[in-house]
Structure 1
């Protein structure tokens, strides 16, 4: 091993890739891409500016009303000033409140809110640290799945036996480059997403693979309302489909294959079940509606002749059908995934090199990456004694509707009564939908505790905010799921203000609650790193794959290159070769184009086979009269979710001081909007301000406003008006279906107008919230005094409730 970074440079990694840090001008830092990375992430340009930004949480802080009156529901969260306190005082308050809620309401009344994007480090992984702590505390109500894949993670096991095979073992890019002649990309292959993967990617390979496709003349049929969902380079035939109608197009393509005898009946008979049920549906048996190209053209806005021609092209050559994760992040999001799989099955190329089905190319940097897939070191967890849980996108329902039942994957569960939210890592006021409703939900618990480096909107809606370090302020090691390196993450700078790492915070709380030794196992963070590394190295050595160096050598070198994996592999290759010897873990052992299990659930929003279910919000639909534009709230190109929104890259992309919204010139002209104008985007759920960018690379009738601008509600305005341009004031808080309860935040019907309200409200999220000095009143409810009465749950007649 040899050092690969210049002298005085600290190695580290992130979800957007490995890099080095060295002292910069005027006391800042300079960021250097990893020398082995052929396509470093543009997000590296946002690291330095976000590190010591004015929004950093400098000291522990408590909301004034909570400090003076004690725990209880409060609509003042997000509006009231904070009081900075000493660390010992803050920890005493948190430990006492955790203990009170456990004694009075049980462990299920504690919601362990955490999301996995806080750090790429394997030890200082906020979600793992918090869940380990709360599990030893006696348990907590947790969440399942993710906002990104909440629908597919539930659906795919019913179709192919498990989700991980499709999501983590997709056919490799070198295989695709070598064998594929046509890629039909529903949702495209967005270049902006491939720079990010959990744990990082030391060598970003997808841009190079896309260039190789172009060099080999591979054609791409881009099915998306956004031309930028595929970078320029590959030969592209753009199908600007109306958003949320991909399923109709997929069904029509499949109908054409069947009607013209272009489907592979031998493959369907050997490797799938349920094709006859699907074919009957395509021919109109259940409802009298034939799902042919003429039918789909009226729905998706693509000419019938182009649909039929595309189906014939697909049948005539080696074709890969790929569906981005974004398509399942919508109402009835199960259907495009299921219909895309059925289309690929009808072609009969699943399991052939370069053909078949993919889910997520361009959605994450490691999908199709040929790097090794190794288990990396991780912090051990213990079973959660509490069995209550929610699908993660149902957090507002959990808080607003305690005691109500919900369906999930064929079973029925009940929301517990949450009295305390403990959040470390993640920003629900970025991820979640209908932020006005989420604000009402966050008003209901007795106490909200948040660990945060920055004064995000989640921190501003908390009662107790504990300042925590960023990855550059602590030691760790990191690597991604198919990464080529394990990276030593050296501490590059001192902690900002009084920030402590999550482990130190939770260890101090565990001490106060009586299980400190069990939580730390007597180890310091450095000793944990050495211990976890040694266990992992011994396991890898015993497997015969490689022998990692001793920890000291690894740490000194700053990295260790992991053993290489195969460069070419094909999804479902063994299954196709012999379905009897290598069956899938489905009831039939085959791909389930119709699922008796799902059908038996009797869910009207997820039938037992791929179906066209018209979303409530789509272009030209009944709900489009007052709000005729379809908003696409997709992932940003200038930050990771809401991380780095205070960095230089994100700030440089703002327009009129707000997030940029793209719209077609025809839609702008009809509204008197020019390039750079400040506009108001609105519907019945809320409104936001944004800066207009006019482009013909979006379909007419569509506007694109990426997620991640820090939520900045204007005080006293209801429904909320976000001054900064967060699209989730506009998106609906509904489930994809009762099968998965997945997130639907990709689309919303809106109207857009030029701002004409005089001086616009300022953007305030780039400065800290207001602080006040302690007033001398009691800092918590006196002993024996009950907490404030619970706020009433949202009435079941609320039209926004599922």
Structure 2
């Protein structure tokens, strides 16, 4: 116990202080941490005369508004702010320890050994900035701007971070970007063409739902602050069902758990759609008025038929009243859902006909063979979802779509919602991430010039191998910030070799992260509460002022300062070198919110009190209807409408590989981190876990001689991951669950074993189509 106490605040004290339990959703409280980092079981700091500041927890999460208490220039307490009805979780409250972390980087650090050796030499900012300029110019001379790569992501959604970086590198003349969101590219690639918009969240009316279908995600952990609204709906009689290979925290709160083979979700959805169509459980009036399902597809071209090729919205339908082909939005037109048994059947099919044909083979029995979901469960879910209204699908960028055909899986939810009319009203829809940028225009602090030339893009899911293979360009200079590619990008072994290959890698961070270890130069940056910023993003309904509460340690600086100093050296400093308030005003200008108003209120919700995405069935497509025929998929040679294709890296999809690696491995999020953010904070490691685990079914552990809490090795041809076995019947047989977010210093990420296959349709990652074997260590 004495050794444990020397590390920092004890697990017991942290849980007692926060009023939360790590294994369940942190849904109540609002109590802040009052023990200083480094003090153990100490008396709480006296906050009666503390200065109070507000900010936002800005990584890829729920962006809670936080209140900071500062005593004698030191942050001593963080709690939820009253302006935001959500409640911060353990991670947000642990910001106290992050700001006061004894291992904060305080000066620029230049590599003084092999990459990964963690050997560094402190240098001045002038030396660091001059070196960066030198390396940029060297790269431009040798490789052009195509040799410069920027990797920024979701570690900070503040408006003066990632957007400023993109503007800086575009002022240089352009750069090779990294594309394909690791979290939700498949959702973007399906929802945007089908509904016309993404990040349309339904959180405001969760409590009004009567049927909640949490499909392939775990809102008790990933939507902790809103989970109280799920429970409120349940208290009013709502039924909640969870589809997940693991008996998750959400499944534990649900009325039914439906375990499924990873990557087979679309087959389950097609089986449900078949039942809904054949039992006439669909909402025909809604489909006719608000979807493309009545649109005709020509047999000759395989494309939707248009009245006028110059007008892409002039889709044709069969008018039931006249029996004639006419434009879909003509006055008095009643579109037919099918053209079967009509004079037009040889020339056309409706999209509804195509969908019905696609579903026909997927009987409940066939669904069971493919997914291992009992036939009775498929029937029950289909009938309940179609008839217990309003019904809401909880998608929220779930792991189900991080698969080889994830775009079809994500699209399947959209088909189900529209078919049943479960969208556009209170208590229904598809719960996605969402925020103010969906509904209001937000400005750019520093407008970005147009890049000069063609650059292509490195694929995020295949970052390591693309860099090693010089695709699309040879990279000589990499700037990485607000992300950690060594923990998050698939196939970490290849990522590590890629970082070693790139001649000069700059990482901007506040701590020595896994990616920083493999960099040439590490620049110390501020965290929240240490610089002024503004948040107006796609994750929160609130526009939030991020106030500076304390000075950063040493010579740490914010991203805006760093890019301003570089811009001055490179001849375009005027665009950057302005007071922070001026940059914030530029962000706010299109919103209608003034800087003075935000200074006063700190946190403003510009959206309606209850935001309803696609209200009354009005979508954001050119036709204002849900358009299910995705032209981009058709042009790539794939089925433009919903279909199921078995994943290549799966037990049934690749029996030869499965003979070597017979277990399907999926990744899970924990209460300990957001991706890998917070991963080094002792409070969270003590409260949740300080070692990685893999969940494995007893029937899979027993034959391998693995007992609960044994150290084991997960492995495949890509690499291995050391962790402890959690032997439990709370995981499907044949499936294991690894935990996301572990640092190199903690033994390494589970991404060492994950597939770096690029999702076919939208370019996302496929980490949840990964096959592994497991053995006991030693």
TM-score by length of 2: 0.78
Q: Partner residue of 1:304? A: 375
After TM superposition, give the deviation of residue 642 of structure 1 in Å.
1.0
After TM superposition, give the deviation of residue 731 of structure 1 in Å.
0.2
Q: Alpha-carbon deviations, 1:55-102, whole Å to 9, x = none?
A: 43232222236xxxxxxxxxx432473332222222211111111211
Does the CA contact (< 8 Å) of 2:186 and 2:410 recur in 1? Answer: no
Map 1:425-504 onto structure 2 (within 5 A).
425-478=482-535, 480-481=537-538, 483=540, 485-504=542-561
Counterparts of 1:212 and 1:157, CA distance in 2: 31
After TM superposition, give the deviation of residue 653 of structure 1 in Å.
5.2
Does the CA contact (< 8 Å) of 2:159 and 2:587 recur in 1? Answer: no
Tell me the number of residue pairs that the alignment of Structure 1 and Structure 2 aligns: 663
Counterparts of 1:296 and 1:675, CA distance in 2: 33
Does the CA contact (< 8 Å) of 2:146 and 2:473 recur in 1? Answer: yes
Q: Partner residue of 1:177? A: 207
Q: Secondary structure at the match of 1:113?
A: strand
After TM superposition, give the deviation of residue 645 of structure 1 in Å.
0.8
Q: Partner residue of 2:729? A: 696
2:643 aligned with 1:584: no
Q: Alpha-carbon deviations, 1:662-703, whole Å to 9, x = none?
A: 233443334333333222211121111112333333223322
After TM superposition, give the deviation of residue 294 of structure 1 in Å.
1.0
2:417 aligned with 1:344: yes
2:66 aligned with 1:19: yes
Q: Partner residue of 1:149? A: 184
Q: Secondary structure at the match of 2:231?
A: helix
Q: Partner residue of 1:50? A: 98
2:724 aligned with 1:676: no
Q: Partner residue of 2:23? A: none
After TM superposition, give the deviation of residue 481 of structure 1 in Å.
4.4
Map 1:120-199 onto structure 2 (within 5 A).
120-123=157-160, 125=161, 127-160=162-195, 162-164=196-198, 167-168=199-200, 170-174=201-205, 176-178=206-208, 180-195=209-224
Does the CA contact (< 8 Å) of 2:465 and 2:494 recur in 1? Answer: no
Change (3 A) 1:600 1:184: same
Counterparts of 2:515 and 2:78, CA distance in 1: 28
Does the CA contact (< 8 Å) of 1:398 and 1:418 recur in 2? Answer: no
Change (3 A) 1:187 1:30: same
Map 1:588-603 onto structure 2 (within 5 A).
590-595=625-630, 598-603=633-638
Change (3 A) 1:750 1:597: closer
Change (3 A) 1:61 1:536: closer
After TM superposition, give the deviation of residue 626 of structure 1 in Å.
2.5
Q: Partner residue of 1:313? A: 384
Q: Secondary structure at the match of 1:676?
A: coil
Counterparts of 1:392 and 1:93, CA distance in 2: 27
Change (3 A) 1:482 1:504: closer
Change (3 A) 1:416 1:307: same
Q: Which runs of 5+ in 1 are unaligned?
A: 66-75, 196-203, 284-289, 405-414, 542-546, 576-581, 713-722, 757-802
Counterparts of 2:669 and 2:539, CA distance in 1: 22
After TM superposition, give the deviation of residue 725 of structure 1 in Å.
4.9
After TM superposition, give the deviation of residue 49 of structure 1 in Å.
2.7
Does the CA contact (< 8 Å) of 1:242 and 1:619 recur in 2? Answer: no
2:677 aligned with 1:629: no
Map 1:285-684 onto structure 2 (within 5 A).
290-318=361-389, 319-325=391-397, 326-355=399-428, 357-360=429-432, 364=433, 366=434, 374-375=440-441, 378-386=444-452, 387-390=454-457, 391-402=459-470, 415-478=472-535, 480-481=537-538, 483=540, 485-520=542-577, 523=578, 527-529=579-581, 531-534=582-585, 548=594, 550=596, 555=599, 559-563=602-606, 565-567=608-610, 569-575=612-618, 584-585=621-622, 590-595=625-630, 598-603=633-638, 607-619=639-651, 621=653, 622=655, 623-652=657-686, 657-684=690-717
Q: Alpha-carbon deviations, 1:407-445, whole Å to 9, x = none?
A: xxxxxxxx1222211222211112200011112222332
Q: Alpha-carbon deviations, 1:312-334, whole Å to 9, x = none?
A: 23333323344342222111111
Change (3 A) 1:398 1:359: farther
Counterparts of 2:258 and 2:217, CA distance in 1: 10
Change (3 A) 1:676 1:499: same
2:135 aligned with 1:105: no
Q: Alpha-carbon deviations, 1:508-565, whole Å to 9, x = none?
A: 2222222223332xx2xxx222x24445666555xxxxx75737xx54x572444562
Q: Partner residue of 2:321? A: none
Change (3 A) 1:115 1:583: closer
Does the CA contact (< 8 Å) of 1:121 and 1:471 recur in 2? Answer: no
Does the CA contact (< 8 Å) of 1:354 and 1:570 recur in 2? Answer: no
Runs of 4+ in 1 over 6 A off after TM superposition: 24-28
Q: Which runs of 5+ in 2 are unaligned?
A: 1-31, 33-46, 294-350
Does the CA contact (< 8 Å) of 1:187 and 1:229 recur in 2? Answer: no
Q: Partner residue of 1:732? A: 755
Does the CA contact (< 8 Å) of 1:12 and 1:20 recur in 2? Answer: yes
Q: Partner residue of 1:764? A: none
Does the CA contact (< 8 Å) of 2:139 and 2:476 recur in 1? Answer: yes
After TM superposition, give the deviation of residue 462 of structure 1 in Å.
1.0
2:262 aligned with 1:243: yes
Change (3 A) 1:45 1:697: farther
Q: Alpha-carbon deviations, 1:610-654, whole Å to 9, x = none?
A: 222111233555132222222221323211111111113431256
Judge which range, 472-481 or 93-102, deviates more: 472-481
Counterparts of 2:621 and 2:97, CA distance in 1: 49
Does the CA contact (< 8 Å) of 1:277 and 1:594 recur in 2? Answer: no
Does the CA contact (< 8 Å) of 1:136 and 1:519 recur in 2? Answer: no
Q: Alpha-carbon deviations, 1:102-151, whole Å to 9, x = none?
A: 12321121112211423x5333x2x1222121111222122345211222
Q: Alpha-carbon deviations, 1:169-197, whole Å to 9, x = none?
A: x44542x433x3323332145221125xx
Change (3 A) 1:597 1:484: closer
After TM superposition, give the deviation of residue 350 of structure 1 in Å.
3.8
After TM superposition, give the deviation of residue 13 of structure 1 in Å.
1.8
Counterparts of 2:687 and 2:705, CA distance in 1: 23
Change (3 A) 1:348 1:8: closer
Q: Alpha-carbon deviations, 1:777-799, whole Å to 9, x = none?
A: xxxxxxxxxxxxxxxxxxxxxxx
2:220 aligned with 1:220: no
